Amino acid sequence: MTAQTLTATATRALDIDRSHSEVAFQVRHLLSKVRGRFNDFAGTINFDPSNSQNSRVDVTIQAGSIDTGEPDRDKHLRSADFFDVESYPTLRFVSTSVTPRGGSDYNVAGELTIHGITRQVVLPATFVGAATDPWGNEKSVFEAELSLNRKDFGLTWNAALETGGFLVGDDVKVSLSIQAK
């Protein structure tokens, strides 16, 4: 594989390659962190490195594909206590602007919809680079991380602990590693 820098002046339409991408999260449970991921997602990235104003992102995640490695917990997360996948089957992010922060870093502002609630968020993202795979296909890689307060999206279920505090933390760290083609 040869790493390359994108030099095209036109916007490139890229489809997310789910088999080489990850949408992961972590949240406090008691004192530890529970990690999970969504296994079913799709989207497009229109990327113009020479003029970020031409860039766009649109990603849809199937809420029912949540996977923490614990079937009973996943069932609870799919229930009306959390994601209520029967009523709100998808999570969606649609960008409204892409602003360079310097180098390969960008702020991707947009509307994030979870559990039927839409909020403006800014996703700090990095264009890692582009490479050609052994079959001649060019792939572009992007990474991003942000923290969200789950209560901002109506995910309010919790259980009080006898010793004080709550079972589930409010802040959720979301990590994205996206390969697009």
Read off the pLDDT of residues 107-153 as tens digits, 9 standing for 90 and up: 999 999 999 999 999 999 999 999 999 999 999 999 999 999 999 99
CA 109/CA 86 separation, integer angstroms: 28
d(CA 14, CA 59): 12
Identify which of 175, 126, 136 has the alpha carbon closest to the alpha carbon of residue 22. Answer: 175
The three-state secondary structure class of 65 is helix
- Does 90 score more than 90 pLDDT? yes
pLDDT band of residue 10 (cuts 50, 70, 90) is low
Distance CA 25, CA 122 (A): 17
pTM of the entire structure?
0.89
Gyration radius of the chain over CA positions: 18
Question: What domains are defined for the chain?
Answer: 2-180 (2.40.128.110)
Q: What is the pLDDT of residues 33-65, one digit of tens each?
A: 999 999 999 999 999 988 998 999 999 999 999
Give the pLDDT of residue 94: 98
> Which DSSP helix (H) or strand (E) runs through 71?
helix 71-78
